[in-house]
Structure formats: C-alpha cells, structure tokens
C-alpha cells in the first residue's frame, strides 16, 4: 500500500506496526532472544546516482520500466521511506556527511573534488563562482567505523570511496578508521572501445563472467561478500558503496540489454558511440544497469539470510543485522549530449536542490523493525550515524557534534509517527536544510513541515531565476502526508510573501550557525551586477618570513574580508588548496600568515557587494576557462625561509 495514495489513521498504523513487530518474536522465538548477540551487525548500502523513480516499489504515476525484484522484496521486510533525503545533491559531500555525521555546509564540503582556489568556470561567461570548499573529509574525523571500534566492531568498505579530490587521493578508507577495504570498479569499469563491445560470456577467465542467473560478475559485490565471510564471527559494519548506476552508462549483459530494448520498444543506434537522446525512462542501457544493481544487492541480502551466524548458532546473519539501503543523491537525468533517466514527477535531478536532486530511495530493515511499513516521515542520510550508535549501544564519541538525529525509537515503535524523531530539546523535528553554492545551481534550500523554500544566489540580471521559490509539497493531517506539489511547479513566493520571508530568515539562521560559505560574484562576468566596476585592485605584496602584506585600492566598494588560499604541495599530482582567514589592516592592507609548508598562495578579497578579487587572478585573458589552468603556475610562490 502506498501512503501517498491510501492514507491510514494514526491508530491503525500503530496497530499494524505492533502486530508486525510482535510477529517477529512469536512463542518459541522469545527464548532465542535470550542468547541473541549483544552487538548487532550493520550493513550500509550506498548506491550511486539511483533515482527515486528508478526502483519499482517507489513507482507513482507512471510505472518504471526497470525491474527491481530484490529491492522490492527488501522493502517488504522493513520500512520504506517516501521522504528520504540525501545530505547533498552530489556524491562526495553526501558520502562525507554520512560517514562523519557532519552537514556539508558545516564541513565546508559541498561538492565533488574541491580543494581548489575559487574561480568562475569561465572568465566572462559565469556571473558567479563557488566559494572555496574542501577537497576531502579530514583524516582525523571521528567516522562511524572509528566510533564503533571501541565497541568491538570490525569495519569494512567495498566499492566507491571518493571523499577526497580523487578516488585514489588521501585519505583512503584505512586512514579514517576502516579495517578492511577494496575499491574495484566491478562491472562499472568502462567497456572498450565502446559500450557495444566486451559483453560478458560464460567463458572461464572472463573477469565479468556471467553467473548462473546470466548476470555479469561484479567484483565490488564479490569483495563485499568476502568481507562478510572473513569477519562474520564478530560484530561488523559493512559500507557497501556500489559504483552502479553512475556513468559510464553501459551493461555487460547483451541479453539484459536486448530485454529492455524489446520492453521499451526502442532501437539501438547504428553507431555504438551515439549517446541516448530519447526522453523519459527509455534508456535500455541504464535500465539494464538498474536491474544489475538490484541483482547484486539481492546476492548480498541472500547471503545474510542463508548463512548461519557463528555468534548465534541456529540463526542466520540477517536475524541480527540492520540493513540501510539508499542512494548518494537523486538520479542523474543526463547532460546536454545524453539522457539517462527521468525523475518525474520530481523536478530535475543530481546537481540540483530541487526534489529530484536530493530525494532518494531509503529502506531500513533489521531486528525489532516492523516489516512491510511505508512511512512519510522526513529522513536524512545524516541520521544514519546517530542511529547506528543507538542500534549498537555505542556511546556517543566525546566532543563529537552530529547534525542528524537518532531514528531508533521511530524504527522500533511507530515508523510513521514524525513526532518520534526528536531534537536535543525534545521537540519533534520538522526542519531540514541543504546548501549547494556550487556548479550552475548556486542555491540553498530548507524544508519546514509541508513547505520547501529554495534560495537562488544567481538571480540578479536573470529574469528566469527568481530569488526565492516556495512550494507546498504536502498537506499533512493526522500525521498523514497527502501529496500536493512534489513536482515543485507552483511557486508560492509571491502569493505567500510572509511565509517565504519567514523560511528564508530561518534558512539564514541555520546556515549562519554552521558558518556556511556563499558564492561570489565574478568581476569579469558579462552578466555580473554593475557594481563590478567598483571592485578593488590589488597593488602589491611583500613577504617577510611567513608574513605577507598586500596593499590594495578600493574603487567604490568597501572590502569587508580577506582569505588566504594556499597549498602545501603545489605542482603535485593531487595538488590541494586550503583556506585561512587574513586580516584587514589600516591603510588598505591585508596581512596573512603562511602556514608552515606553504608552497604557493593566492589572496582573496571580498567586498560589500559579494564580489571576489583574486590576486593573482586565477583566470585572465589567456586562461578563460578553469580547464586551462594549472593553479600553482598562476599563484604566488612562497619564499624559502
């Protein structure tokens, strides 16, 4: 039953949940509870770019053509959340947020890659630029595996990592607390010379040999199963991060591809290099990828359900294992040259804070959790950390700030009651915020109850982009959410100005508390506000020891703050840049202290109109695109001590 269409009364939901949960402990099984291992296992399945409407059990309106029998079955074994959200609309910030429990805005990790000097993507074509954001999760972060280790847990990672400026850059899983790690791309390894080559066979020696069910062997899944086999005799935390269904959009199963070509009624292009451009959920390559993903998750779940628990003889691993399944962001609908999927009725997708970019499938199962429940409670990936601590009885790490909330009471009592997700002061949570001052989106958003506000930073001189967008997603009555405008088609900002202003103020409060960074205007941008003519000019710099003094001239706009952007490994393969505040001094001077080991640096001056002046300029008339720039070559070189 889909709660979006069939609302249940609160009392009936409680009765159903109690019935389902008590059925887990029927007479005879109560005795078994006496010797249940104290520490349950945790399996966190984080898939890549899977859209809310790519999973069969999430179908509303038009049915998805993708077949996901294993995920549909998993949903029936636990709780399916209809309002599950990722912490960010892109991969790396979500992964860092889940493992660290820290909001992307607070961590200054709001997008992929990062660790670079702020600069527009194009010198004149972009009116705004992203602020500096970190290239990685700090290596000393108290991650989930580090928090669990004192409680006797062994932690394993299989698959995608990407919490640094490159998949292979520092820090790696072992650097942040994992005991075991494998990062093979599995079936996501690019097929060569194109995606109509290298189809899998049953021949021995084929690295992606077809299994008994006709699916290509996936090393990522094989590695996850290896970890389970090697460590099932102790409490474990498995972070199974699939590379699927990220690009490249391909399938190594010719039979599966042909199946969806026929099912969708489409034809493959004659040129195998031709990208898919038919709209909707019509891409047979992608549909096949989703079914492959479903099969691999089925392999892992089946292993847990069929393997005896060495710590609990006579019982299966699944009986004492919590499974959290979700996606790192909304579905990637495509780019200018290809269409991948369609998140409709949700608007947009990955790289956007509209619902299609952050709403994700979310299923949670495990001991004491009722089966077959659908919930409209708002959940965020930031909630996983405190919830895992609670489910495992692990103490909160001393001094650790967590931006999510503990869901254990919700999961084990009434998963449909939003009042069971409580803030520290005891009030029920009704607010979530996102911050994505990056890429072309340049936006922040906030959910308060049924309403969602989107703040667009790049709205000046752009009549098609309002500063504020306000949508009523649901109408909640008696704790049941009735769908209103999850499509985000009716902007209420003008008709409800007080509501929009109130939510905008609250968004500012949330971001201010987290010391969020905001995008800057580009003084060279054609569409930038006219106040670009008032941006300051840096006249000189002088380094003495570790101190650098810059002098500048104001040209009509007051300089309000300064930042030093520096690197400790200029020219290295994984060159990484950091930010430190600089001081504004009398006489139009900015003073910066170079951290020990600095090799190169820039000065950033930000004026009262939010324009950023970089010194030296990252881009100039010869280097008009970020793709043309080697940062260390453009920066000031630190003098040897």
For residue range 338-397, list pLDDT tens digits in order: 999 999 999 999 999 999 999 999 999 999 999 999 999 999 999 999 999 999 999 999
Planar angle of CA 565, 567, 573, nearest 5 degrees: 135
Under 8 Å between Cβ of 71 and 352: no
CA distance 300 to 304: 7
What's the CATH class of domain 530-637? mainly beta
Under 8 Å between Cβ of 484 and 150: no
Q: How confident is the model at residue 641 (pLDDT cuts 50, 70, 90)?
A: low
Determine the topology of domain 10-33+42-116+130-423 in CATH.
Alkaline Phosphatase, subunit A (3.40.720)
Under 8 Å between Cβ of 399 and 93: no
Q: How confident is the model at residue 9 (pLDDT cuts 50, 70, 90)?
A: very low
What digits encode the pLDDT tens for the residues 429-452? 999 999 999 999 999 999 999 999
Type and span of the H or E element at 115 = none
Type and span of the H or E element at 445 = strand 443-448
pTM score, two decimals? 0.94
Q: What does pLDDT average to over the chain?
A: 94
- Strand ranges for 164-215 from DSSP E: 180-182
DSSP, collapsed to helix, strand or coil, labels residue 532 as helix
Name residues whose C-beta falls within 8 Å of residue 459's C-beta, 6 or more positions apart in sequence.
465, 466, 467
Phi/psi region, residue 552 (left: phi>0; alpha: psi -120 to 50; beta: rest), is: beta
CA distance 543 to 639: 7
CA distance 564 to 547: 11
Domain ranges of the chain: 10-33+42-116+130-423, 442-474+481-519, 530-637
What is the mean pLDDT of the segment spanning 236-242?
98
What digits encode the pLDDT tens for the residues 261-309? 999 999 999 999 999 999 999 999 999 999 999 999 999 999 999 999 9
What digits encode the pLDDT tens for the residues 574-614? 999 999 999 999 999 999 999 999 999 999 999 999 999 99
Q: At what angle do helices 254-264 and 284-306 cross, to 10 degrees?
A: 120
Under 8 Å between Cβ of 377 and 449: no
- What is 600-611 written as a DSSP string? EEEEEEEETT-B
Q: Which of 31-40, 413-422, 566-575, 579-588 bottoms out in mean pLDDT, i.e. has the lowest?
A: 31-40
CA distance 550 to 545: 14
CA distance 449 to 430: 5
What is the mean pLDDT of the segment spanning 509-513?
98
Structure tokens at 627: 């793709």
Q: What is the pLDDT of residue 640?
A: 65
What digits encode the pLDDT tens for the residues 89-120? 999 999 999 999 999 999 999 999 999 999 99
From first CA to last CA, the distance across the chain in angstroms is 70
Q: What is the pLDDT of residue 284?
A: 98
Q: How confident is the model at residue 414 (pLDDT cuts 50, 70, 90)?
A: very high
Q: Is the pLDDT of residue 14 over 80?
A: no
The CATH number that domain 442-474+481-519 falls under is 3.30.1120.10
The residue with greater pLDDT, 16 or 397, is: 397
What digits encode the pLDDT tens for the residues 170-222? 999 999 999 999 999 999 999 999 999 999 999 988 899 999 999 999 999 99
Q: Is the pLDDT of residue 6 over 70?
A: no
Q: Is the pLDDT of residue 5 over 80?
A: no
Q: Is the pLDDT of residue 21 over 90?
A: no
Q: What is the pLDDT of residue 205?
A: 87
Q: How many C-beta atoms lie closer than 10 Å to residue 597's C-beta? A: 10
DSSP 121: S
Planar angle of CA 212, 198, 189, nearest 5 degrees: 85
Q: Is the pLDDT of residue 28 over 70?
A: no
CA distance 168 to 490: 44
Under 8 Å between Cβ of 638 and 602: no
Name residues whose C-beta falls within 8 Å of residue 74's C-beta, 6 or more positions apart in sequence.
297, 301, 323, 325, 363, 365
Q: In what order do the strands lie in the sheet with 451-456?
A: 431-436, 443-448, 451-456, 468-472
**Parallel, antiparallel, or unpaired for β 559-567 and 577-585?**
antiparallel
What digits encode the pLDDT tens for the residues 72-94? 999 999 999 999 999 999 999 99
Under 8 Å between Cβ of 544 and 622: no
CA distance 84 to 46: 13
Structure tokens at 474: 């649901």
- The alpha carbon dihedral of 248, 252, 254, 260 has a sign of negative
């Amino acid at each position: 039953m889909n709660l979006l269409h069939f609302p249940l009364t609160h009392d009936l939901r409680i009765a159903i949940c109690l019935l389902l949960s008590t059925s887990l402990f029927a007479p005879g099984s109560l005795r078994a509870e006496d010797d249940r291992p104290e520490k349950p296992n945790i399996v966190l399945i984080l898939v890549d770019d899977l859209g809310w409407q790519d999973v069969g059990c999430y179908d509303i309106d038009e049915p998805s053509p993708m077949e996901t029998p294993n995920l549909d079955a998993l949903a029936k074994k636990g709780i399916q959340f209809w309002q599950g959200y990722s912490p960010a609309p892109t991969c790396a910030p979500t992964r860092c947020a889940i493992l660290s429990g820290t909001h992307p805005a607070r961590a200054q990790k709001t997008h992929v890659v990062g660790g670079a000097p702020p600069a527009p993507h194009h010198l004149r074509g972009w009116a705004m630029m992203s602020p500096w954001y970190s290239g990685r999760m700090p290596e000393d972060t108290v991650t989930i595996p580090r928090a669990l280790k004192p409680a006797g847990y062994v932690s394993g990672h299989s698959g995608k990592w990407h919490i640094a400026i490159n998949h292979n850059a520092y820090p790696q899983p072992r650097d942040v607390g994992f005991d075991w790690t494998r990062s093979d791309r599995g079936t996501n390894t690019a097929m060569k010379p194109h995606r109509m080559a290298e189809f899998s066979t049953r021949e021995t020696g084929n690295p992606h040999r077809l299994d008994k069910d006709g699916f290509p062997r996936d090393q990522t899944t094989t590695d996850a199963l290896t970890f389970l086999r090697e460590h099932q005799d102790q409490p474990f935390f498995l972070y199974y991060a699939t590379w699927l269904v990220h690009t490249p959009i391909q399938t190594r199963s010719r039979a599966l591809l042909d199946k969806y070509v026929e099912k969708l009624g489409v034809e493959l292009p004659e040129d195998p290099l031709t990208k898919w451009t038919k709209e909707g959920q019509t891409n047979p390559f992608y549909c096949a990828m989703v079914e492959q993903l479903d099969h691999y998750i089925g392999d892992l779940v089946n292993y847990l359900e069929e393997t005896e628990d060495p710590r609990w003889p006579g019982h299966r691993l699944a009986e004492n294992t919590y499974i959290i399944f979700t996606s790192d962001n909304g579905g990637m609908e495509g780019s200018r040259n290809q269409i991948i999927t369609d998140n409709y009725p949700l608007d947009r997708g990955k790289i956007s804070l509209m619902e299609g970019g952050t709403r994700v499938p979310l299923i949670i199962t495990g001991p004491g959790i009722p089966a077959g429940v659908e919930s409209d409670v708002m959940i965020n990936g930031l909630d996983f950390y405190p919830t895992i601590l609670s489910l495992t009885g692990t103490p909160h790490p001393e001094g650790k700030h967590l931006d999510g909330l503990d869901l254990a009471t919700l999961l084990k009592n009434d998963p449909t009651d939003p009042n069971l997700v409580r803030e520290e002061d005891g009030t029920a949570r009704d607010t979530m915020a996102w911050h994505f001052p990056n890429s072309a989106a340049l936006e922040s958003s906030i959910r308060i109850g049924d309403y969602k506000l989107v703040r667009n930073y790049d709205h000046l001189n752009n009549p098609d982009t309002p500063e504020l967008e306000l949508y009523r997603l649901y109408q909640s009555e008696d704790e049941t959410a009735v769908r209103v405008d999850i499509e985000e088609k009716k902007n209420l900002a003008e008709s409800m100005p007080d509501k929009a202003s109130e939510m905008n103020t609250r968004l500012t409060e949330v971001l201010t508390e987290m010391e969020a960074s905001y995008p800057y205007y580009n003084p060279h941008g054609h569409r930038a506000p006219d106040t670009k003519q008032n941006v300051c000019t840096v006249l000189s710099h002088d380094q003495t020891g570790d101190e650098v003094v810059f002098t500048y001239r104001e040209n009509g706009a007051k300089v309000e703050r300064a930042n030093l952007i520096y690197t400790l490994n200029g020219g290295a393969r994984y060159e990484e840049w950091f930010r430190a505040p600089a001081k504004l001094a009398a006489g139009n001077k900015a003073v910066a202290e170079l951290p020990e080991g600095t090799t190169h640096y820039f000065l950033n001056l930000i004026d009262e109109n939010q324009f950023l002046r970089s010194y030296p300029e990252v881009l100039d008339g010869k280097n008009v695109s970020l793709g043309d720039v080697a940062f260390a070559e453009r920066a000031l070189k630190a003098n040897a001590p």
